Amino acid sequence: MTTLSHKPASARPIPNPERSLITRLNMGTGTVVGILFAVITYYLLRHHFGSPWRVNHGMDMTNTHFVNVTILCTMFAWSFGFLVGIGALIGPFRWLIGKDLTAEEQLYLAGDGQGIKRYFKYCTDHKVVGIQYLVGVMVMLGVGGTMAMMIRTNLATPGSHFIAPIIYNSLVGLHGITMIIAMIIVSTGPFGNYIMPIMIGAADMAFPRLNALSWWVLFTAIPVLCSAWFLGGIPTGWTAYAPLSDQAGPGMNAFLATIIIFALSTAVAGMNITTTVVAMRAKGMKWNRVPIFVVGATISVALAIPAFPTFMVAMIQTGLDRTISTGFYDANVGGSGWLYANLFWIMGHPEVYVILIPGVAALMEIAPVFVRKPLFSYGAAIAGFAGIAGLSVLVWAHHMYMSGWMPNLNGPFMITTEFISVPTGLLFLVLVGTLWRGKPWMKMPMLSVYAFIWDFLIGGITGIYLSDVPADNYLHGSMFVTAHFHYTLMGAALTGAIGALAFWFPKMTGRMLNDRGSYISFWLIQIGFNVLFLGMFMAGAAGQPRRVADYAQAFAHANLISTIGAYSVGLGMIVLLWAIIHSWRSGVIAPMNPWGSKTLEWTVPYPVPLVNFDEPPVVTSDPYNYGRSAK
Amino acid sequence: MAHHDDQDLLPTPGQRVGTFLKRKDVSQTFVLGIFFTAVFVVLGLWVYPHWMPNVMSKEMQGNEDIMIWFTVISAPIAGVVLAIAMESFINMHRGDTPPPEDGPGIKTHGPVVVIWSAVSVLFTIVAIVWGITEMNTWSSDALAGSNNALVVDVTGSQWNWSFNYPAQGITSHELNLPINQPVEFRVISADVNHSFWPVQLGVKVDANRLSTTIARTTPDKLGVFDVKCAELCGLNHAYMETAGHVESVADFNNWVSQAKATGGTQQ
| Structure ipTM | 0.93
Question: Chain A residue with minimal CA distance to B3?
Answer: A629
Instruction: Answer for the pair A430, A384: CB distance below 8 angstroms, yes or no.
Output: yes
Of A403, A414, A541, the CB nearest to B131: A414
- Kindly state whether residues B192 and B226 are assigned to the same domain: yes
Please identify among residues 541-560 of chain A the ones whose CB lies closer than 8 Å to any CB of chain B.
Answer: 541-543, 545-552
Distance, CA of A292 to CA of A431 (rounded, Å):
12
Give every CB contact of residue B197 below 8 A, 6+ residues apart in sequence: A477, A545, B204, B227, B228, B229, B230
- Kindly state whether residues B125 and B208 are assigned to the same domain: no
Distance, CA of A303 to CA of A305 (rounded, Å):
6
- Mean pLDDT for B52-58 is 94
Last residue of a domain, one of B78, B109, B143: B143
Give every CB contact of residue B261 below 8 A, 6+ residues apart in sequence: none
Beta-strand relationship, B223-229 and B194-198 = antiparallel
- Kindly state whether residues B125 and B190 are assigned to the same domain: no
A612: number of CA atoms within 13 Å, CB side?
26
Please identify among residues 320-339 of chain A the ones whose CB lies closer than 8 Å to any CB of chain B.
Answer: 331-332, 336-338
- What global pTM score does this model have? 0.93
- How far CA A498 is from CA of A188, A351, A452, A586, in Å, comes to 13, 20, 11, 20
Taking CB atoms and an 8 Å cutoff, what residues of chain A touch B243?
none
pLDDT band (50, 70, 90) for residue B266: low
- Kindly state whether residues B123 and B187 are assigned to the same domain: no
Of A414, A537, A545, the CB nearest to B228: A545
- What would be the CATH architecture of the domain defined by A124-603? Up-down Bundle (1.20)
Last residue of a domain, one of B108, B143, B178: B143
- Kindly state whether residues B48 and B165 are assigned to the same domain: no
Instruction: Answer for the pair A626, A549: CB distance below 8 angstroms, yes or no.
Output: no
Which residues, given as ranges, of chain A have pLDDT below 50? 1-15, 55-62, 630-631
Is B112 within a domain? Answer: no
Question: What pLDDT was estimated at residue A113?
Answer: 80
Query: Are the Cβ atoms of B1 and A629 closer than 8 angstroms?
Result: yes
Is B101 within a domain? Answer: no
Of A410, A438, A478, the CB nearest to B230: A478
Concatenated DSSP letters of A578-610: HHHHHHHHH-PBPPSSTT---SGGGGS-SSPPT
- Mean pLDDT for B115-135 is 95
Query: Are the Cβ atoms of A432 and B85 closer than 8 angstroms?
Result: yes
Tell whether A95 lies on the interface with B, counting CB pairs under 8 A. no
- How far CA A461 is from CA of A284, A488, A621, B15, B123, in Å, comes to 41, 11, 37, 36, 12
Q: Where are the alpha helices (DSSP H) in chain B?
A: 3-8, 13-22, 24-51, 58-90, 110-145, 249-261
> B119: buried, middle or exposed (CB in 10 Å: 19+, 13-18, 0-12)?
middle
Tell me, what CATH number does B176's domain have? Answer: 2.60.40.420
What are the phi and psi torsion angles at A547 (to 5°)?
Answer: 60, 30
Is B182 within a domain? Answer: yes
- Kindly state whether residues B133 and B180 are assigned to the same domain: no
Question: Chain A residue with minimal CA distance to B117?
Answer: A422
Distance, CA of A78 to CA of A615 (rounded, Å):
43
Question: What pLDDT was estimated at residue B2?
Answer: 44
Instruction: Show the CA angle centred on residue B129, arms to residues B123 and B130, nearest 5°.
Output: 90
- Kindly state whether residues B81 and B155 are assigned to the same domain: no
Distance, CA of A472 to CA of A476 (rounded, Å):
5
Chains A, B: CB contacts within 8 A come to 285
- Kindly state whether residues B130 and B155 are assigned to the same domain: no
Please identify among residues 214-273 of chain A the ones whose CB lies closer than 8 Å to any CB of chain B.
Answer: 235-237, 239, 241, 243-244, 247
Query: Are the Cβ atoms of B232 and A236 closer than 8 angstroms?
Result: yes
Is B1 within a domain? Answer: no
Is B104 within a domain? Answer: no
B7 vs A550, higher pLDDT: A550
Other CB atoms within a 10 A radius of the CB of residue A227 amount to 20
User: pLDDT tens digits for A211-265?
Assistant: 999 999 999 999 999 999 888 889 999 999 998 998 888 889 999 999 999 999 9
Question: Chain A residue with minimal CA distance to B106?
Answer: A374
- Kindly state whether residues B172 and B123 are assigned to the same domain: no
Is B259 within a domain? Answer: yes
Give chain B's domain count: 2
Question: What pLDDT was estimated at residue A397?
Answer: 95
Query: Are the Cβ atoms of A425 and B233 closer than 8 angstroms?
Result: no
Maximum Cα–Cα distance across chain A:
83
- Kindly state whether residues B255 and B192 are assigned to the same domain: yes
- Mean pLDDT for B39-46 is 94
- Kindly state whether residues B178 and B135 are assigned to the same domain: no
DSSP A52: S
Range of the domain at B217: 149-266
Taking CB atoms and an 8 Å cutoff, what residues of chain B touch A483?
none
Taking CB atoms and an 8 Å cutoff, what residues of chain B touch A255?
none
User: pLDDT tens digits for B142-199?
Assistant: 888 888 899 999 999 999 999 999 999 999 999 999 999 999 999 999 999 999 999 9
Is B110 within a domain? Answer: no
- Kindly state whether residues B125 and B188 are assigned to the same domain: no
Is B165 within a domain? Answer: yes
Taking CB atoms and an 8 Å cutoff, what residues of chain B touch A169?
232, 234-235, 237
Distance, CA of A415 to CA of B193 (rounded, Å):
27
Beta-strand relationship, B205-207 and B242-247 = unpaired
Question: What pLDDT was estimated at residue A20?
Answer: 77
Distance, CA of A72 to CA of A52 (rounded, Å):
11
Of A373, A474, A475, the CB nearest to B106: A373
Query: Are the Cβ atoms of A627 and B105 closer than 8 angstroms?
Result: yes
Instruction: Answer for the pair A196, A62: CB distance below 8 angstroms, yes or no.
Output: no
Which of A473, A479, A624 to probe by mutation at the B interface, max B CB count within 10 Å? A473
